[in-house]
Amino acid sequence: MSLKITRPTKNFDKPFTTDYSYQFQSFLQENGLEPDPKVGLVANGSIGRAYINVGGQRKLVGWYQLWLDQSVPFGRLGDYRISADQPTAIWKPENQKRMKVTKEQREEIKELQKQAEVKQQEKYSKAAKKAQTLWDEAKECEKHPYLEKKQVLSYGLKVNETGQLMIPLFDKQLTVVGIK
């Protein structure tokens, strides 16, 4: 007589419940967001971009933040069309009932959020400085094939050294922050 041991069937579609990145990706999908495939899932507290289906088209208007490197993982997501800093949904792990977020951990989360915002601002200011330098080095443009094709005047646009038309992007203080 032999003893046959049967084991419960495994569900390979869903990894272990401790795989927080999988849980967060599922959370993003449930809320209609798809992380930018060029970058992948950003899990260090920095702001990640995500696609959202808007009127039948995929647009890169979603954002998310995920912190996996702390005692209690935490994530949030939002839509730039609604707000650039206020989340539309917040994620906590499935077994969050066993994990209570302490006051110190909330402060840690807030501090990590501030650090991510500072990094983002540094990135923006670095891009703005580069754009301003490129704009300053460019030559004034009176005629350009694109402008002639569209039958419009230059209105202060410039061209770079390769002859590409440069259109400045300004902030509220009329400072160049980008170039198209």
Could you tell me the two tokens for 172? 């509220």
> Is residue 43 pLDDT above 50, yes or no?
yes
Q: Quote the domain boundaries for residue 72.
A: 20-101
CA distance 85 to 80: 8
How would you label 33-65 residue by residue, b for 16+ Cβ within 10 Å and e otherwise? bebeeeeebbbebbbbbbbbeeeeeeeebbbbb
pLDDT reading at 9 higher than 60: no
Mean pLDDT of 38-66: 88
Would residue 15 count as lying in a domain? no
Instruction: Name the phi and psi angles at 65, rounded to 5.
Output: -135, 140
Strand ranges in 104-153 using DSSP code E only, listed in sequence order: 139-140
- Mean pLDDT computed over 12-17: 45
174 lies in some domain: yes
Q: How many domains does the chain have?
A: 2
- Shared-domain flag, residues 97 and 132: no
- Report if residue 165 sits inside a domain: yes
Q: Check residue 152 and give its pLDDT.
A: 86
3-state secondary structure of 168: strand
DSSP structure class, residue 47 = P
Of 14-28, 71-85, 103-117, which gets the smallest average pLDDT?
14-28
List the single range of 36-40, 94-98, 152-156 with lowest mean pLDDT: 94-98
Angle of CA points 174, 176, 179, to nearest 5°: 135
pLDDT higher than 50, residue 124: yes
pLDDT of amino acid 15: 44
In order of 10, 27, 28, the CA distances from 93 in angstroms are: 21, 10, 13
Domain assignment of residue 166, yes or no: yes
* Residue 79 contacts residue 69 (beta carbons within 8 Å): no
Mean pLDDT confidence for 78-83: 86
Taking 70 as the threshold, does the pLDDT of residue 100 lie above it? no
Q: Which residues of 107-124 are buried (b: 16+ CB within 10 A; e: fewer)?
A: ebbeebbeebeeeeeeee
Question: Among 101, 116, 150, where does a domain finish?
Answer: 101
- pLDDT greater than 50 at residue 14: no
pLDDT at 50: 92
Asked whether residue 8 is assigned to any structural domain, the reply reads no
- pLDDT at residue 158 greater than cutoff 60: yes
**CA gap 10, 144 in Å, rounded:** 64
Summarize the confidence of residues 117-139 as an average pLDDT. Answer: 89
Residue 89: pLDDT band (50, 70, 90) is confident
The pLDDT of 169-175, averaged and rounded, is 86
Q: Are residues 96 and 167 in the same domain?
A: no
Identity at 70, one-letter amino acid code: Q
| Average predicted confidence (pLDDT) for the chain | 81
Do residue 33 and residue 92 come from a single domain?
yes
Checking if the pLDDT of 17 tops 50, the result is no
